[in-house]
Structure 1
Amino acid sequence: MSKEDEYVANAAEKEIGDLERVVTAPQLPGEKDEEVVRTETAASERLPFSKARCVALVTTIAAAPFLSTMAVQASVIILPTIGEALDIPTSRQQWIVSAYSLTFGCFLLLWGRLADVYGKRMIFLWGSVAFTITSIVPPFITNEIGFDIFRGLQGLAAAAMAPTALGILGVTFPPGKAKDIAFGCFGAGAPLGGIFGNIFGGVVGEYLDWKWVFWIFGIVSGISTIASYLVIPVPPPQPEPVMRNTVDWIGGTLITVGLIILLFALSEGNVVGWSTPWVPVLIVVSLLLVVAFGFWQHYLETKTQKRPLMKMSIFKNGKFTAANVLMALFFSSFNNYLIFATYWFQDFQGLSVIQTTIRFIPTGVTGVLVATITGQLLSRIPGDIILTFSTISVSMSSLLFAIPIPVHATYWAYGFPAMVLSVCGADTIFPVLTLFVAKTLPSEDASLGGALITAVGQIGRAIGLAIATAVQTAIIAKEKGVDVDKIGSEGHGLEPWDDALKVGIRGTAWFNFGMSLASTVVVVVFIRGIGIIGGKGKSKR
């Protein structure tokens, strides 16, 4: 155990000891142990460094989830623009988003383990440097494959920052008010990145060039990297750990290669045709690798002393398992909604990037409002009620784009309510699920559960988008009366207001509606009755 971890463990042990004294000692009503009062007061007021350095530290750490989320959303709004610049057909544009999400999700747990072995500060700084480089380089690449590879590397770098950032805050700030504020700022980073990502991408893409979206990311990330190097405390020296034997490289390889092969097969099926022999073969191989990963993790956990990348026993908790399924289904639907709404406005209606951005502004405004009240709702409304509201909201967003509303209908009739409802769902479901996981799992599994549910959400985005793109391509091919591979590789001359494009996007909206409806079923059947999870509420396992 590192000295950082010992510090956290000792602090937690002291808090538990204080709590035990309060519970077991006989006291009069209203009386409280004076030593506990002094301990709580000192902890809540004590800062590990000067106030200025603490502010700088929290700001640079919170920049990690802000930039990593913004990198996804900003690319969504300029997806058609990048596709046109690099001559990427619509059926393969999803790789620009999916490559990032897939590597982010696959490597989240592995980076967390590497941080335990090599140190949180080192891994965070390496991730931040890599994110800077992989943000600056892609605009210079003029071919599709190279661009997608660097997007994957960018997601890999972002995954290194996510678990280590949270760990740095955890070991730096003692329990108390300062720590609450630090974690609150960190928690706001990802939602704010999502809110401003579309607006930033649209404005920069319209008035500068889509390349500047990435270059500005690189500049900001570079500044953040330098600041992080200066303000993140250097941990005390520790004995050289036995490194290679404590990291599950085999498990990391199995799950990453398996999911990448699956995504590749689902995507390329649109291009070469689903009857091509190697497509189903790759799908089977990918599924076998994922299953092998599960067996390997079970073997490490039950038969060896080596720490697995993911404890399979954690899934014995039925509600936790259901929460992961819910996360994958929901964010698959939500992510698809945002992307295909972009296609509707830009590809079908022929609107410019900035005109599309204006139509996404309600997501930002609504997101800020919802974020301010969600914390209050968690301590007043049962979690399963909030989750049901979240899933139904996103279902309605997809449904508004699926039903045959006249194509020249005003944006306020379908687009505006869909945007508002989608964010109402997304900005309420994530805090509920993360808090639910923290309260449902034993304390020793809470960190793994939180990282896992985030990873599942990212992987769900990537796989769901691949399937939705396959649905769209198949529908367009049917409408055009051509083979799927013609649409996948050539686009077959699709222009704004093309009926085939309209039917294809609406078909994916029905698919997204089905995914979000399935997530509602998961809540109603498997997560019902969890009770109030915020405040002093205790979720029911």
Structure 2
Amino acid sequence: MKEPSAFQSFLIIASCTLTMVANISTNTSVSISLPVIQHDFQIPQAALQWIISANPLSNGCLLLLFGRLADLYGRKQVFLIGSLWLLSFTLGCAFVEEPITLDILRGLQGIGGAATIPASLGILAHTFHSGRLRAVAFASFAAGAPLGGGFGVVLGGVLTQLTPQSWRSPFYLSAGLTALSMIGGLLSFNQDEPSNEVDTRVDWIGAFLVTAGLVLIVFVLGQGEVAPKQWSTPYIIALLVIGMVLVLGFIVWQVHLESLQYASEGISYPDPDSRCEWLSHLALRWLPTPPPIMKISLWTRMHGRVAIVFCIAFLTWACFQTWLYWVTLYYQNFVGYSPLRTVVRMLPMFVTGIACNALIALCVDHIPMTILVACGTSLTGCACLLFAVINPNAVYWAFGFPAAIISVVGADFVFACGTMYVAKNCLPHEQSVGGAVFQTMTQLGTALGVTVSTIVFNRVLESKATDTAGLPQLLTLPAYKAACWSGFAFGMCACLLTIIFLRVGIIGHNDQSSSLTVTEMGGQRTTTKDTQGDAHKKRVRK
């Protein structure tokens, strides 16, 4: 594929980055508007949860399916359809008159984000082959997260408080950003090329298993603490077990399909012991056998380092979102700040986020990935540590400011480096799927981090007083600190995982005339070279 011009490159990167900004801002702006929404609809606080959770639930659980569809049927096509979908339902949220309708539209809104994000990652990976421009593209896309968070929190708070449309105004803002990204993509993205896969069927069985399983697991993580009997509630236990069984079934099914795909090409499966040959003796021969929606061998590439990157992303987002969630509550519920005063104290993290991604674009060609990721994960963990030992009487500059400065470093470094590394080890027809798996791990990490820290918070609170009614404010401080200790644990686990297992050098270098990916999988080495649009596969026995 011919390298795009400078102007076209700018439009492509800007369009993909705006997509990330729109997806993040539509969630953060709703968070800051929740008190006004509650007042307008006259609903209890417990009913606000689904206004927040519906979008990430549908978004995170459909990423893998839409990543596969983008790789098969065209990333530009999926991007534009997803953007139009997101634009329509974002505008719909601005006109609702009932809270249940808002919940439903928020869930439908997340489907658009699930389509645009993996398609964007696939477009960036497939378009930019040179080291510096590729680094700038991925770093800019990663910068869309803190930029979107800043847009959502700051402008969302201002628009909610100062405009006649109140909480509806941020939805107009998100719709405008989505429209701009869609127009930019329509004008700048290269036309989709036909997939070079021989079998272009979609694994709908695998799509159902992974989507249903993740929906149930994420739902349980969000509802476990608020259910009538908390985690001992019968339907919570049942749904968790069913979700885990479905995900396990998905893994087994993908191994089965991948082994059949290798057998049809006359190549032995990378790991013969895990072929699950017993599946062929079951009544499964009548089921369709398309290519797997996600090759399990993706996780074993580069001697398992790709799986390590996925796990680091999972733990880093568990740490970062734990910090963000509890620090926001600390400022508003414990200290008593207004939303705008809270926004002011969170602003340094957005500035740092943009600076970190600019730093990645400059340093990824010179500094090993292991060093960047280890520094980032440790700093995000230390942000949680600062609030785990915070003195409420101290000035903001002692604990709050340094925590806001370093909190986002891990998320930005891991996202930019991680997506580049995964893209480098995906075949040309797997780029969107690889990005979708990475994004799914961050979504699951978010859900787990908030859930675990909420459990810790509640248990510490219960241990301080048997009657929480009229609980003195100072008794909640140990609970806030304990929740941040759990975030610190996630961050240190990510850092240790990086130092011990992630032996990766400089990832920014890339041949400017071709994109060469060498993937070592068990007893084979798969080499894929894509030069000026021609994809040549060559599998060689070791």
Query: What range is the shorter-chain TM-score in?
Result: 0.7 to 0.9
Distance 2:347 2:82 in 1: 31
Task: Give the equivalent residue in structure 1 for 2:233.
Answer: 276
- Give yes or no for the alignment of 1:221 onto 2:178: yes
Distance 2:251 2:210 in 1: 9
Instruction: Please say if residues 101 and 461 of structure 1, whose CA atoms lie closer than 8 Å, have aligned partners that are also in contact.
Output: no
Task: Give the equivalent residue in structure 2 for 1:202.
Answer: 157
Instruction: Please say if residues 217 and 240 of structure 2, whose CA atoms lie closer than 8 Å, have aligned partners that are also in contact.
Output: yes
1:360 deviates by 1.1
Q: 1:505 aligns with which of 480, 484, 488?
A: 480
- Give yes or no for the alignment of 1:395 onto 2:406: no
Instruction: Please say if residues 393 and 421 of structure 1, whose CA atoms lie closer than 8 Å, have aligned partners that are also in contact.
Output: yes
1:181 deviates by 7.0
Answer with 466-475 or 323-332: which moved more. Answer: 466-475
Change (3 A) 1:398 1:83: farther
Distance 2:120 2:477 in 1: 43
Q: 1:160 aligns with which of 109, 115, 124?
A: 115
- Give yes or no for the alignment of 1:523 onto 2:498: yes
Answer with 437-446 or 311-320: which moved more. Answer: 437-446
1:433 deviates by 1.7
Task: Give the equivalent residue in structure 2 for 1:69.
Answer: 24
Task: Give the equivalent residue in structure 2 for 1:319.
Answer: 305
Q: 1:422 aligns with which of 403, 407, 432?
A: 407
Task: Give the equivalent residue in structure 1 for 2:82.
Answer: 127
Distance 1:295 1:410 in 2: 54
Instruction: Please say if residues 254 and 290 of structure 1, whose CA atoms lie closer than 8 Å, have aligned partners that are also in contact.
Output: yes
Counterpart secondary structure, 1:465: helix
Q: 1:383 aligns with which of 349, 369, 374?
A: 369
Instruction: Please say if residues 62 and 186 of structure 1, whose CA atoms lie closer than 8 Å, have aligned partners that are also in contact.
Output: yes
Task: Give the equivalent residue in structure 2 for 1:296.
Answer: 253
Q: 1:462 aligns with which of 432, 447, 466?
A: 447
Which structure has more strand as a fraction of its residues? 2
Alignment of 1:208-287 (within 5 A): 208=163, 209-225=166-182, 228-229=185-186, 246-271=201-226, 272-274=228-230, 275-287=232-244
Distance 2:160 2:416 in 1: 31
1:157 deviates by 0.5
Q: 1:436 aligns with which of 398, 416, 421?
A: 421
Instruction: Please say if residues 436 and 539 of structure 1, whose CA atoms lie closer than 8 Å, have aligned partners that are also in contact.
Output: no
Instruction: Please say if residues 105 and 458 of structure 1, whose CA atoms lie closer than 8 Å, have aligned partners that are also in contact.
Output: yes
Q: 2:291 aligns with which of 286, 297, 307?
A: 307
Counterpart secondary structure, 1:381: coil
Distance 1:500 1:144 in 2: 34
Change (3 A) 1:400 1:148: farther
Counterpart secondary structure, 2:233: coil
CA deviations 1:195-248 (Å, max 9, x no partner) are: 443333333334333331122212332454456556656669x89x999x8112
1:75 deviates by 3.6
Counterpart secondary structure, 2:509: coil
Task: Give the equivalent residue in structure 2 for 1:534.
Answer: 508
CA deviations 1:131-187 (Å, max 9, x no partner) are: 112222335446655434333322211121123334456777897998887667555
Counterpart residue identity of residue 396, structure 1: C
Answer with 319-328 or 66-75: which moved more. Answer: 66-75
CA deviations 1:93-116 (Å, max 9, x no partner) are: 554444333332322221122234
Identity %: 33
Counterpart secondary structure, 2:225: helix
Alignment of 1:400-419 (within 5 A): 400-403=386-389, 405-419=390-404
Counterpart residue identity of residue 324, structure 2: L
Answer with 64-73 or 432-441: which moved more. Answer: 432-441
Instruction: Please say if residues 121 and 435 of structure 2, whose CA atoms lie closer than 8 Å, have aligned partners that are also in contact.
Output: no
Counterpart residue identity of residue 309, structure 2: A
- Give yes or no for the alignment of 1:138 onto 2:123: no
> TM-score w.r.t. structure 1 length?
0.77
1:456 deviates by 1.1
Change (3 A) 1:129 1:390: same
Task: Give ranges in structure 2 of 5+ residues lacking alignment.
Answer: 262-288, 512-516, 521-542
Instruction: Please say if residues 346 and 353 of structure 1, whose CA atoms lie closer than 8 Å, have aligned partners that are also in contact.
Output: yes
Which structure has more helix as a fraction of its residues? 1
Task: Give the equivalent residue in structure 1 for 2:271.
Answer: none
Instruction: Please say if residues 370 and 499 of structure 2, whose CA atoms lie closer than 8 Å, have aligned partners that are also in contact.
Output: yes
Task: Give the equivalent residue in structure 1 for 2:344.
Answer: 358
Instruction: Please say if residues 344 and 505 of structure 1, whose CA atoms lie closer than 8 Å, have aligned partners that are also in contact.
Output: yes
Distance 2:64 2:237 in 1: 29
Change (3 A) 1:73 1:175: same
Distance 1:539 1:420 in 2: 38
1:64 deviates by 1.5
Change (3 A) 1:234 1:390: closer
Instruction: Please say if residues 270 and 474 of structure 1, whose CA atoms lie closer than 8 Å, have aligned partners that are also in contact.
Output: no
CA deviations 1:456-478 (Å, max 9, x no partner) are: 11222123223333333444444
Distance 2:424 2:122 in 1: 19
Distance 1:493 1:124 in 2: 51
Instruction: Please say if residues 269 and 470 of structure 1, whose CA atoms lie closer than 8 Å, have aligned partners that are also in contact.
Output: no
Instruction: Please say if residues 78 and 210 of structure 1, whose CA atoms lie closer than 8 Å, have aligned partners that are also in contact.
Output: yes
1:420 deviates by 0.6
- Give yes or no for the alignment of 1:345 onto 2:331: yes
Distance 1:185 1:409 in 2: 36
Instruction: Please say if residues 199 and 360 of structure 1, whose CA atoms lie closer than 8 Å, have aligned partners that are also in contact.
Output: no
How many residues get paired? 481
1:502 deviates by 3.1
CA deviations 1:52-72 (Å, max 9, x no partner) are: 777656544442122123323
Instruction: Please say if residues 224 and 236 of structure 2, whose CA atoms lie closer than 8 Å, have aligned partners that are also in contact.
Output: yes
Counterpart secondary structure, 1:430: helix
CA deviations 1:307-343 (Å, max 9, x no partner) are: 1111012222321111111111111110121121111
Distance 1:66 1:223 in 2: 11
> TM-score w.r.t. structure 2 length?
0.77
Instruction: Please say if residues 135 and 360 of structure 2, whose CA atoms lie closer than 8 Å, have aligned partners that are also in contact.
Output: no
Instruction: Please say if residues 130 and 154 of structure 1, whose CA atoms lie closer than 8 Å, have aligned partners that are also in contact.
Output: yes
Change (3 A) 1:110 1:364: same
1:367 deviates by 2.0
Please provide the CA RMSD for this pair: 3.7
Instruction: Please say if residues 366 and 423 of structure 1, whose CA atoms lie closer than 8 Å, have aligned partners that are also in contact.
Output: yes
Distance 2:481 2:42 in 1: 24
Change (3 A) 1:442 1:332: same
Task: Give the equivalent residue in structure 2 for 1:28.
Answer: none
Distance 1:380 1:417 in 2: 27
